[in-house]
Amino acid sequence: MSYNLLKGKKGIIFGALDQNSIAWKTAERVHEEGGQFVLTNAPIAMRMGNIKTLAEQTGSEIIPADATKTEDLENLIEKAQEILGGQLDFVLHSIGMSINVRKGKHYTEQNHEWTHKGLDVSAMSFHRVMQVLYQKDAMNEWGSIVALTYMAAQRVFPDYNDMADNKAFLESIARSFGYHFGKKKNVRVNTISQSPTPTTAGKGVKGFDGFIAYADKMSPLGNATAQDCADYTITLFSDLTKRVTLQNLYNDGGFSNMGVSEEIINKFTEE
């Protein structure tokens, strides 16, 4: 169902890889709600996915950019404004990567060069994106910037590894930069803490199937899907949330406020 929430709004969506990714679903929803956008991803990620299909479906252009390189981001933001015809109303940061996770390195045995690279991609890139947007005055007043995160930033999920630290840093950047963007331009900056979601990145975490099944049994509403996250993101891009900022917003079926559920108790008291 479309509500025309984003009619006339323009933005950039980072991180759409394939049909399973939250950024992909969000792009589809933004298009349905009347918004226009430029798609971007790292050149290497674009070779892995099929972002061109999404661009065709939504009438969007693709501008490759490495989010760890300021010059790439400057080019992206300048070209996006040229293509879209003015300042931006929304930006989605949906980027995360851990070489330690990918290569099976335990948290206590990290390769710290890999850790640094993952931190750069997953968290510092968010600061870089906002810094370029801020310095170029690229955001319209009452614009909205959203990044995706996970509750391992607050609680221990052993196999989430150094991505937990990356997400904690990401959330802190959202608050700190969000203050300055709010004071200067009335721009909102929030993070959405999503249920474990079977995206290409999510499936790379060891024991992911157990992760997702446990969260589903703990949450009174069950796990939020990638589509649910896209729907929630749309509300944050819209004018209906004009004074929601500096928040880490849980889209997790209630998991974050649960201690234990009947299903979990029953599982451990089965005779």
Binding site members for NAD(+):
15, 21-22, 95, 167
Could you say which of 150, 214, 232, 250 is catalytic?
Answer: 150
- 107 is annotated as an active-site residue: no
160 catalytically annotated: yes
Of 170, 172, 168, nearest to 124 (Cα)? 170
Give the residue numbers of the binding site.
15, 21-22, 95, 167
What span, in angstroms and rounded, lies between the C-alpha atoms of 113 and 222? 37
How would you label 202-239 residue by residue, b for 16+ Cβ within 10 Å and e otherwise? beebeebeebbebbbbbbeebbbbbebbbbbbbebbbe
> The tokens of 160 are what?
């989430």
Catalytic, out of 3, 134, 160, 179: 160
Active site residues: 150, 160
